[in-house]
Structure 1
Amino acid sequence: MAEQVKITLVKSAAHRLPKQRAIVKALGLNKVQSSVVLPDNAATRGAVFKIAHLVTVEVVK
């Protein structure tokens, strides 16, 4: 089974750059403390890298 990552929004995306707000929305994060589990691949890692200051990431199995 492939590795997955749990991404949790810990800071608001309000008043951030439009590109960062779009990434938060594209990942499926809506409100602060909302979480999503996504596959651990290059696309997900790249998106998380752009908004690393807003999220926490955990590896789940």
Structure 2
Amino acid sequence: MAKLKITLVRSISKLNESQTATVRALGLRKRGSCVEQQDTPQIRGMIKKVEHVLSVEEI
């Protein structure tokens, strides 16, 4: 299964609680932090919810 490299490119301070929780659930904390996640429908849905603050690359 493919992996995704997810980077937080914008601050989460202006996001609502639900979006902030989604970013945290992805494993991102500070702006510029990166994580690798499996490419699953659940992860894709989380990315879609906060795509305006993320950068996503396939590995």
The TM-score by the shorter chain falls in which range?
A: over 0.9
How many residue pairs get matched?
59
Gaps of 5+ in 1: none
**2:36 matched residue in structure 1:** 37
Offset from partner CA, 1:9-61 (integer Å, 9 cap, x none):
0001112111000001111100000000000010000000000000000000x
Gaps of 5+ in 2: none
**2:46 matched residue in structure 1:** 47
Distance in 2 (CA, whole Å) between partners of 1:58 and 1:8 is 9
- Compute the TM-score of the two structures, normalised by the length of structure 1: 0.94
Larger fraction in helix: 2
Identity %: 39
- Compute the TM-score of the two structures, normalised by the length of structure 2: 0.97
**1:12 matched residue in structure 2:** 11
